[in-house]
Amino acid sequence: MKEKHSGILLSDRALKIQSHAPDLARTLAGLILSSNDMEFQGECLSLLGLQMGVGADIVEECVLDKIDAVIVLNDRKPERCKEPVPFLFEDDCLQEMDFEDECEEGEDSYDFLDI
């Protein structure tokens, strides 16, 4: 039933997140369309499935639809089945791995009894 009426039966958390989606969509559309880099604009519009020269309202609506779809999709997953969020930047992943390596190395060379 939740899948059939996805926009109606969202969790409180998803509704709160969704309330910010129009502002985010407007901001992203503005950033895309205000760029002087035509290659960047073209790639962004292509990812959205749009052509160059479309109006700001169309770009904003498309971005909003994508954001809403992700919110609904993530709200449908049971809490225990949600995968961890991937790293946004590769450097974060590398730093995390280096930290884990240091901890593993440190375990061999340091013992609480050494205090």
Q: Which two tokens stand for residue 108?
A: 């061999």
pLDDT number for residue 1: 44
Q: Which two tokens stand for residue 76?
A: 């449908």
Q: Give how far Cα 17 sits from Cα of 13, 14, 54, 80, Å.
A: 6, 5, 27, 20
Tens digit of pLDDT for each residue in 50-106?
999 999 999 999 999 999 999 998 887 766 555 665 654 555 455 555 545 545 555
pLDDT number for residue 10: 87
Instruction: Work out how many domains the chain is built from and give that number.
Output: 1
Task: Provide the 10 A C-beta neighbour count for residue 71.
Answer: 21
Residues spanned by the domain of 74: 12-82
Residue 113 lies in a domain: no
Residue 103 lies in a domain: no
Question: Which amino acid appears at position 4 of this protein?
Answer: K
Burial bucket for residue 59 (CB in 10 Å: 0-12, 13-18, 19+): buried
Residue 114 lies in a domain: no
Q: How many percent of the chain have pLDDT more than 90?
A: 50
Residue 25 lies in a domain: yes
Tens digit of pLDDT for each residue in 57-66?
999 999 999 9
Residue 77 lies in a domain: yes
pLDDT band at 8 (very low <50, low <70, confident <90, very high): low
Residue 2 has pLDDT above 70, yes or no: no
Rounded to two decimals, the pTM is 0.62
| Phi/psi at 43 (5° precision) | -65, -45
